[in-house]
Structure 1
Amino acid sequence: MSGPEQAPAGVDTTVPSVARMYDYYLMGKDNYQVDRDAAEKVIAASRESGTDIRVAARDNRGFLGRAVQALAEAGVRQFIDVGAGLPTQENVHQVALRCAPDSRVVYVDNDPMVLVHARALLAADRAATVVDGDLRDPRSVLEHPGVVSRIDFDEPVAVVFCAVLQFVPDDAEAAAIVGAFRDRCSAGSHLVVSHPFPGERPGEAFQEIGEVYTTTSSGSFTLRGRAAVRNLLAGTELLDPGLVPVQSWRGDVPADFTVPSYLGGVGRIG
């Protein structure tokens, strides 16, 4: 944003927002100086770790698009994107509707700026909507009028948790959150999960990244290894190629678990 930074009502520009930082990684413009300052610290630390968070964020968006396309092509017509973040290119509804025009999409987030922008984007879109919800309270999301009016849980649903569960510090709580959605979905539904992964030889730079995120609206940032991320998809059968670096999920990059990245997987609920 250029010039004086004015924010919509309810948006705090004194504390970095993880959604707005992610927008900055993706070269978006819906962020403020406080977000850019924090994001630049993460970018610098990620370089020290042997990666670039901006590239990783783009790779993660690519994974999301390929996963949604694969599920839409397989017949899934309902999508819930939990912790959706700020709208960017190739959002879930854009990919799904391109593949299947009868798709229905619900975005869930509790960041005021995300809600403002998403509602403006989707104001005239009858296939997609956004609701104010907190992933830490799955029941309130699953019972939200905006969700139950659009989603038929007796039919297959794809529930997306892309780059959001790292802000839930406790492994058991993160697994329980995903499990609540899994248990509500019918057979033939899917979970789509991506999660930051430090590589098999994590360095000290990740401690600095974590410290930056403790100053944000999320208050935390938790890296998880392969087993812990796989546990988030417990109770599902992983689609090929399994749980891999996101750039390798049906992409053209060989899987390399030694370097930091996001891990991504899609699990089918039996």
Structure 2
Amino acid sequence: MAESSARTEAPRRIRTDRPHTARIWNYWLGGKDNYAVDQEAGDRIRALHPGIGEYALADRKFLGRAVRHLVAEHGVRQFLDIGTGLPTADNTHEVAQRLAPESRVVYVDNDPIVLAHAEALLTSAPEGRTAYLDEDLRDVDAILGQAARTLDLTRPVALVLLGVVIFVEEDEEAYGIVRRLVDALPAGSHLVLSHTITRPDMPDVDAAVAFWNENGTPRLTQRTPGAVARFFDGMELLPPGVVSCNRWRPDEVGAGGEPPAEVAMFGGVARKV
């Protein structure tokens, strides 16, 4: 069963004259929901940082591994996925319901092109439920109020924030938003979060983000690995902690057992105790 609170006329809000991060991400992942302006910007960014497509893919695969782990090992059956992005293969509900068809997922995004696709593509298995909310990450009360129509917020929920807190520039505001969301969930809930990092040995990432912030929308904010780890303060981090997304419980390792090369997208999963 699928539900939606999206009642605005999305096409009127979609701009095709400027590149947009959701569409560029879709382009890097091999999707078709993008325009020439997004492809051009994506190629320019990839020229500055050739590995950008790899960490887009790493972030997506991190989502799948995290959801599978939470469903199979921790019995999670409810997900609140904020900053959904454009629907693609192996969305949160597809991964969860493959293992537990009764899983319930609420997607939240305020991107108009996401809105245009969500109702058609984010459909649920008959045993479970999905819902789509057209809300901004900053509107915590609105998100929680509407999510409660689909999720039982007295029972554990996995809060998924992949590559979305990067759009909140002020640190204290960003930490405050995540804290308010986590505080509203019961013990046994989990936080799944990823974030673009800045680090001295990855200057090409800084150059790519600077180009984006001059030419695209919305603006991105990088944070250090330590600053990303701060989002999990007060929670019980699951091993291996906050690491490069492709190093979080990877499905494959090198022939000698070495981990994959790091990408500039770090993430982690933590349990609320």
| Shared fold per TM-score greater than 0.5 | yes
- For structure 1, the residue ranges without an aligned partner over 5 or more in a row are 1-6
Q: Using the aligned pairs only, state the percent identity.
A: 42
TM-score, length-normalised on structure 2? 0.88
Residue 143 of structure 1 aligns to a residue whose secondary structure is helix
Q: Return the offset for 1:213.
A: 3.1
Letter in 2 for 1:235: G
Question: What's the secondary structure of 2:228's corresponding residue?
Answer: helix
Q: Note if contact 1:63-1:246 (Cα within 8 Å) is conserved in structure 2.
A: yes
Q: What RMSD over aligned residues (CA atoms) do the two structures have, in Å?
A: 1.9
Q: Distance in 2 between matches of 1:246 and 1:210?
A: 22
* Aligned equivalent of 2:235: 236
CA distance in structure 2 between the partners assigned to 1:55 and 1:204 by the alignment: 14
Q: Report the 3-state secondary structure (helix = DSSP H, G, I; strand = E; otherwise coil) of the residue aligned with 1:266.
A: strand
Q: Determine the C-alpha separation between the residues in 2 that align with 1:37 and 1:156.
A: 42
Aligned residue for 1:8, secondary structure, equals helix
Instruction: Tell me if the contact between 2:87 and 2:122 (Cα under 8 Å) persists in the aligned partners.
Output: no
- Offset, 1:196: 1.2
How far the C-alpha of 1:202 sits from its partner, in A, is 3.1
Runs (4 or more) in structure 1 with deviation over 4 Å come to 123-126, 253-257
Q: TM-score, normalised by structure 1?
A: 0.89
Distance change in 2, residues 1:269/1:176 (3 Å): same
- Amino acid aligned to 2:249: R
Match of 1:185 in 2: 185
| CA–CA distance in structure 2, aligned partners of residues 125 and 204 of structure 1 | 42
Judging changes above 3 Å, is the alpha-carbon distance between structure 1 residues 75 and 108 closer, same or farther for their aligned structure 2 residues? Answer: same
- Name the CA distance, whole Å, in 2 between partners of 1:46 and 1:28: 20
Q: Is the 8 A contact 1:45 1:209 kept in 2?
A: no
Greater Cα shift, 244-253 or 188-197:
244-253
**What secondary structure sits across from 1:186 in the alignment?**
coil
Amino acid at match of 1:69: R
Unaligned runs of 5+ in 2: 1-9
Return the alpha-carbon distance in structure 2 between the equivalents of residues 202 and 263 of structure 1: 13
- For 1:151 and 1:214, how far apart are their aligned partners in 2? 39
Distance 1:153 1:248 in 2: 31
1:133 aligns with 2:135: yes
Offset of 1:89 from its aligned partner? 0.7
Using the TM superposition, name which of 259-268 and 177-186 deviates more.
259-268
Q: Tell whether 2:262 aligns with 1:263.
A: no
AA at the equivalent of 2:196: P
CA deviations 1:149-191 (Å, max 9, x no partner) are 1111110000101111112111111111111110000000000
Structure 1 residue 45, shift from structure 2 partner: 1.1
Distance 1:210 1:78, change over 3 A: same
Question: Which residue does 1:151 correspond to in 2?
Answer: 151
Aligned counterparts of 1:243 and 1:206: Cα–Cα separation in 2: 20
| Residue of structure 1 in register with 2:70 after alignment | 71
Residue 38 of structure 1 pairs with residue 37 of structure 2? no
Structure 1 stretch displaced more, 205-214 or 65-74: 205-214
Q: Report the equivalent of 1:213.
A: 213
Decide whether the 8 Å contact of 1:193 with 1:265 is kept in 2: yes
